[in-house]
Amino acid sequence: MVRIGPFSTATDMLTALRQRVLSSRELVEMHLQRISELDGALNSIPVFCPDRARAAAEFKTALTMCRAGNDRVCADEARERGAR
């Protein structure tokens, strides 16, 4: 597997996610780091919402665990989100 970085192709990033070489959260953090390094000079991100990106990554990870049959993670996620 190719080392995944901010300049990897979307296909390589998706493959790494599917093979669980890295998590959704790790991928988001990699891109947030790159944005924080460069965006000051570029000013290309008009509304920066890192907390929303992290929350979406955590949700995706939990959803993946549910689909993989990890019922405990599903129950924990449902409790955390207030589901009954």
Per residue in 14-50, pLDDT (tens digit) is 999 989 899 899 999 999 999 988 888 888 888 889 9
Q: Mean pLDDT over all residues of the chain?
A: 82
- Structure confidence at residue 72 (pLDDT): 63
Would you state the pLDDT for residue 74?
Answer: 65
Q: Got the DSSP string for 6-43?
A: TTS-HHHHHHHHHTTSS-HHHHHHHHHHHHHHHHHHH-
Q: What does the alpha-carbon distance between residue 47 and residue 50 come to, in Å, rounded to a whole number?
A: 10
Share of the chain above pLDDT 90, in %: 38
Above 50 in pLDDT, residue 6? yes
